[in-house]
């Protein structure tokens, strides 16, 4: 006789997924109906378990990272509307913990990317690399360009002309 498993959404996602193999097929199908709001498409247990595990993680991510999900929804809508990717999204963002360094006038400057996408420089937190570059140089700079995250996209109008 199998032990009845009671699915508890209040448990962590890892705990919920870990209990899937202990559930009988009827419990799996019942959970499917609750999570997907429709009938299971198959009776194949591994298929159902894998899709349920994915959906449970997806729902948890959406709950815990709602602002990121909303930001992604806005980006997608903008791309769909204009057909172009916004300039700031065309270049990859450095991952948290990355240390950016730049040698400027014989002095090395280091900036660390924080867990929330900001930048730590000389014990202070900044939202923008450009502000840090301006502080270092005293002039207006593109921070990503200054720290080598982007290449300069300058093309001379006279380049290639003879004359």
Predicted model pTM: 0.45
Alpha-carbon distance of 147 to 102, in angstroms, equals: 6
- CA 131-135-138 angle, 5° bins: 115
pLDDT tier, 96 (very low <50, low <70, confident <90, very high otherwise): confident
Mean pLDDT along residues 59-63: 81
pLDDT tier, 34 (very low <50, low <70, confident <90, very high otherwise): very high
152: tokens are 């300069």
Q: In 3D, which of 136, 141, 143 has the Cα closest to residue 103?
A: 136
- 23-33: buried (b, 16+ CB within 10 Å) or exposed (e) per residue? beeebbbebbe
Q: Where are the domains of the chain?
A: 7-90, 99-146
> In this predicted model, what pLDDT tens digit does every residue of 107-150 receive, in sequence order?
999 999 998 889 999 999 999 999 999 999 999 999 999 998 88
Residue 28 parent element (H or E): helix 25-36
> In this predicted model, what pLDDT tens digit does every residue of 80-95 receive, in sequence order?
888 877 666 666 778 8
Dihedral through CA 132, CA 138, CA 140, CA 145, nearest 10? -50
Which pLDDT value is given to residue 154? Answer: 53
Which pLDDT value is given to residue 86? Answer: 67
142: tokens are 């593109």
Which pLDDT value is given to residue 54? Answer: 93
């Amino acid at each position: 006789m199998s032990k009845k498993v009671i699915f508890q959404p209040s448990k962590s996602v890892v705990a919920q997924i870990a209990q899937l193999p202990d559930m009988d097929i009827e419990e799996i199908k019942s959970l499917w109906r609750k999570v997907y709001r429709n009938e299971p498409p198959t009776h194949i247990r591994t298929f159902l378990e894998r899709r349920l595990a994915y959906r449970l993680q997806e729902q948890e991510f959406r709950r815990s990272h709602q602002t990121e999900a909303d930001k992604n929804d806005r980006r997608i809508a903008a791309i769909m509307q204009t057909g172009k990717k916004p300039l700031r999204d065309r270049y990859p963002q450095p991952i948290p913990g990355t240390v950016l360094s730049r040698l400027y006038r014989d002095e090395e400057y280091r900036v660390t990317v924080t867990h929330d996408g900001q930048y730590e420089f000389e014990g202070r937190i900044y939202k923008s690399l450009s502000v840090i570059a301006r502080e270092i140089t005293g002039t207006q700079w593109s921070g990503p360009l200054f720290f080598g995250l982007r290449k300069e996209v300058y093309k001379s109008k006279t380049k290639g002309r003879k004359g």
